[in-house]
């Protein structure tokens, strides 16, 4: 499956041959452009109907460069269609099938920018925050039904995403950019550790746990009958 670009069938076939040779497992390719609704529906149908599928890695995505102001509406729509709509439809299709069977693993790929909306492009980081929220909600639904759920938040990783977004990755400090194999190995290690959220670069996941606990502590205070005292008409403000 491609991230908005129809990959040549020969490229998919070459990758399948490498996997067969390297692992000895059977590999079948399904060519689809996940920015096209009909193609997404085709993949979702396969996820829903094939009991041999027990794992989905939802990793297709595209990015944009530059500020939101002045962005091309068509490019924004295409990015949101892939990063949000397609991801959701495929995640729900897989989750529904896995839950019915009482087994399966769903892995969604987000980004550390889900936690840093001030950095990079706001719409892109917004799509990745969506994926984080979606996965956390799905984990609550699926874990009691025997389905494992993980969201991976990579930092800058050396993939084709940069060139497709018109970004020269060589301008980033080398210490910021992780190689693909390193990131994938860390993600799989996080899965083995039963992490719902995996941040490959974060030295101590206690940092995430603290942040998440603070977020959860806010929840009971977010919807109350009365507005906070600071918004009262007679509130006193100092200059």
Bridge pairing between strands 148-152 and 55-58: unpaired
**Distance between CA 175 and CA 166 in Å, rounded?**
21
Residue 106 φ then ψ, to 5°: -115, 120
In angstroms, how far is the first alpha carbon of the chain from the final one? Answer: 57
Report how many helices (DSSP H) and strands (DSSP E) the chain contains, helices first.
Answer: 8, 4
Query: What b/e readout covers 51-77, taking b as 16+ CB neighbours within 10 angstroms?
Result: eebeebbbbbbbbbeeeeeebeeeebe
Active site residues: 124
């Amino acid at each position: 499956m491609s991230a908005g670009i129809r990959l040549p069938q020969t490229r998919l076939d070459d990758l399948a041959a490498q996997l067969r040779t390297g692992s000895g497992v059977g590999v079948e390719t399904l060519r689809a452009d996940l920015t096209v609704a009909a193609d997404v529906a085709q993949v979702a149908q396969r996820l829903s109907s094939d009991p041999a599928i027990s794992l989905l890695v939802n990793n297709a995505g595209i990015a944009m460069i530059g500020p939101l102001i002045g962005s091309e509406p068509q490019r924004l729509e295409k990015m949101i269609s892939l990063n949000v709509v397609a991801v959701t439809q495929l995640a729900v299709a897989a989750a529904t099938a896995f839950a019915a069977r009482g087994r399966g693993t769903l892995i969604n790929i987000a980004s550390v920018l889900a936690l840093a909306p001030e950095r990079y492009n706001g719409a892109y980081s917004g799509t990745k925050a969506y994926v984080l929220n979606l996965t956390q909600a799905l984990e609550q639904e699926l874990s009691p039904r025997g389905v494992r759920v993980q969201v991976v938040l990579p930092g800058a990783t050396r993939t084709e995403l940069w060139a497709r977004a018109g970004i020269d990755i060589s301008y980033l400090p080398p210490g910021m950019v992780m190689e693909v194999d390193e990131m994938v190995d860390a993600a799989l290690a996080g899965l083995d550790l039963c992490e719902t959220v995996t941040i490959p670069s974060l030295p101590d996941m206690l940092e995430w746990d603290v942040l998440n606990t603070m977020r959860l502590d806010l929840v009971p205070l977010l919807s109350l009958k009365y507005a906070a005292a600071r918004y009262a008409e007679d509130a006193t403000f100092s200059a």
